[in-house]
């Protein structure tokens, strides 16, 4: 066997997936433990490390799962084994797994926690200030475009899980949440990650800009407001004040 085949065989033995016909003594040896004992140790370490990785990235979901945490993670790792060299990416599909097996607020909370993880490690970028927008010729304003910082994500969740997030942090009972499509924005400002629920029209405006559309097109999302122009400029001003914008493109 070459190195890649040995690694694949050992990983199969560690996972206990019964897919490899290779015996433990063919891939491990040496020391005072038998090959089977060594594989057992590796398997225990693998389970512990995967559990720790998920608990670290999803502390609130882990707390809510309680005793169900360990079997839930074991089933998740079985269905979605790690394919990245770093266990920091193991939880990438955990929200989707929960959505498939236990649809409801828990899956949305997991998605919000994962967004926090990704935003926290996103590439740094010096944010633009409102002066970059103020200096644009008014006739060119509608055609300008905004580029958001890399450390910003927007997702439409099926529950507004902010109250659940706060309850877990405070050690309070989980509130009952009613389904309702909610756009949540997550971003990093300096070294701290924040999240906020948006009005649907503001979320649509941000999505338009993320697709590369102009400010004029994005502002059309506010057309149903009593004062569309005021609503649009209030939203745009908040994006700059919260350091969400990377640059203004003309």
Residue 44 in this model has a pLDDT that exceeds 90: no
Give the tens place of pLDDT for each residue, 83-137.
766 778 899 999 999 999 987 899 999 999 999 999 999 999 999 998 888 878 8
Mean pLDDT of 222-232: 96
Mean pLDDT of 64-88: 87
pTM score: 0.84
Please tell me what DSSP assigns to residue 175.
P
Residue 238 in this model has a pLDDT that exceeds 70: yes
Give the tens place of pLDDT for each residue, 141-169.
899 999 999 999 999 999 999 999 999 99
Whole-number pLDDT of residue 82: 74
Contacts by residues 37-44 (CB-CB < 8 Å, ≥ 24 positions apart): 39/10, 39/13, 39/14, 42/10, 42/13, 42/14, 43/13, 43/14, 43/15, 43/16
Contacts by residues 229-237 (CB-CB < 8 Å, ≥ 24 positions apart): 231/201, 232/205, 235/202, 235/205, 236/133, 236/146, 237/130
Domain ranges in the chain?
1-102, 104-250
């Amino acid at each position: 066997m070459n190195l890649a085949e040995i690694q694949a065989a050992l990983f199969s033995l560690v996972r206990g997936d019964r897919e490899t016909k290779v015996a433990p003594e063919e891939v491990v040896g040496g020391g005072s433990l038998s090959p089977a004992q060594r594989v057992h140790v590796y398997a225990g370490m693998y389970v512990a490390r995967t559990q720790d990785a998920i608990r670290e990235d999803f502390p609130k979901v882990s707390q809510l799962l309680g005793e169900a945490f360990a079997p839930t993670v074991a089933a998740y790792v079985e269905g979605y084994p790690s394919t990245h060299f770093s266990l920091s990416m193991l939880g990438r599909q955990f929200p989707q797994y929960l959505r498939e097996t236990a649809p409801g607020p828990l899956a949305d909370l997991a998605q919000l926690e994962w967004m926090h993880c990704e935003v926290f490690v996103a590439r740094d970028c010096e944010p633009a200030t409102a002066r970059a927008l103020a200096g644009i010729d008014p006739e060119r304003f509608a055609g300008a475009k905004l580029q958001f910082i890399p450390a910003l994500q927007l997702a439409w969740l099926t529950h507004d899980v902010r109250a659940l997030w706060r309850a877990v942090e405070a050690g309070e009972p989980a509130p009952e949440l009613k389904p309702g499509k909610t756009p949540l924005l997550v971003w990093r400002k300096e070294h701290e990650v924040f999240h906020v629920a948006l009005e649907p029209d503001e979320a649509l405006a941000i999505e338009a800009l993320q697709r590369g559309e102009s400010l004029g097109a994005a502002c059309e999302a506010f057309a149903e407001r009593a004062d569309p122009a005021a609503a649009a400029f209030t939203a745009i001003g908040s994006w700059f004040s919260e350091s969400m914008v990377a640059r203004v493109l003309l």
